[in-house]
Amino acid sequence: MTRRQAAMPEAADTDSGDPVLQALASRLRLLRARRAMTRRALARQSRVSERYIAQLEAGTGNASLVLLHRIAAALGVPVGVLLQEVAEPPPELLPVQRLLERLSPAQLAEARHLLAERFLAVRPDLRRQRIALVGLRGAGKSTLGRRLAGRRGVPFHELDREIEREAAVELREIFEMQGQAAFRRLERAALDRLLAGPGGMVIATGGSLVTEPDTYETLLAHCRVVWIRTSPDEHMRRVVEQGDLRPIRDSRQAMRDLKSILASRESLYARADLVLDTSGQDEDRSFRDLLDLLEP
């Protein structure tokens, strides 16, 4: 055995009847055949031993996630394609992806709107009449959204309340009885129902909507989205003022959790069309600033 072969990791033998491994074996053989790629070539390019690849293709290899990533990279596909979580992307998609990767964040936002208008039948005039507010609880979404809807003479919708109306139970019961996946389905259904209606509206979303990619993309495509942000201290104070005393019970841990959530979602919130910082501002000043953003 050469030093190079010795450095390559091997696969542990496992049950050849495992349906997950059989599906992986079939997918790997298909992808390699499509590329007219020998096992030896795949082993060389992925830095994974040829014996390991043979075991995977036989459905007897105990797959390592790290090595699967290497094999997927050598085949030029996302690792999810190997695991059959996603279909292999069409060849036309690759040059489009490379083009988009060279765009700035502002250009990406513009490209998203152009594609939505062209292929999702999004009307720019209707999109301008629909305002969606995103951000953590306590930022002021409901308060500002209600005033904005009143000024514009359009309906105001709190998406969480729409979800409760669809499910005929409170959010807490949805999570306890049906789980996160059911909540996400109801959230998407409620949003689709609102967007199917005519005319303008103002929507205050739940703080975690931005973590659901498809739902957030729909919101960005059909609404002008404003990130209502404020400082962690302001978030905490406003939540307590709304009657939720849980943060007081363990203020240090609650603040750490809040900062962690903000940090993890910041890049998602930042995809909004506009940003309004309400830190240190009273309601009237924040509302005037919101109007200035939307109606310069």
Tell me the C-alpha distance between 47 and 8, whole Å: 6
244 is in an annotated binding site: no
230 is in an annotated binding site: no
292 is in an annotated binding site: no
**What tokens does 45 get?**
């390019």
Q: How far is CA 69 from CA 19, 116, 226, 233, in A?
A: 20, 32, 37, 41
206 is in an annotated binding site: no
34 is in an annotated binding site: no
Tell me the C-alpha distance between 38 and 43, whole Å: 9
160 is in an annotated binding site: yes
218 is in an annotated binding site: no
Tell me the C-alpha distance between 72 and 262, whole Å: 33
141 is in an annotated binding site: yes
The number of residues in the chain equals 296
Q: Decide: 230 and 159 in contact? Cβ < 8 Å.
A: no
Strands laid side by side in the 201-204 sheet: 156-158, 201-204, 130-134, 224-229, 274-277
265 is in an annotated binding site: yes
39 is in an annotated binding site: no
Using the Cα atoms of residue 203, residue 209, residue 215 and residue 221 in order, give the sign of their dihedral: positive
147 is in an annotated binding site: no
281 is in an annotated binding site: yes
Taking alpha carbons only, the member of 91, 22, 6, 97 closest to residue 55 is 22
Binding residues: 138-143, 160, 184, 207, 246, 265, 281
Binding residues for substrate: 160, 184, 207, 265
Binding residues for Mg(2+): 142
Binding residues for ATP: 138-143, 246, 281
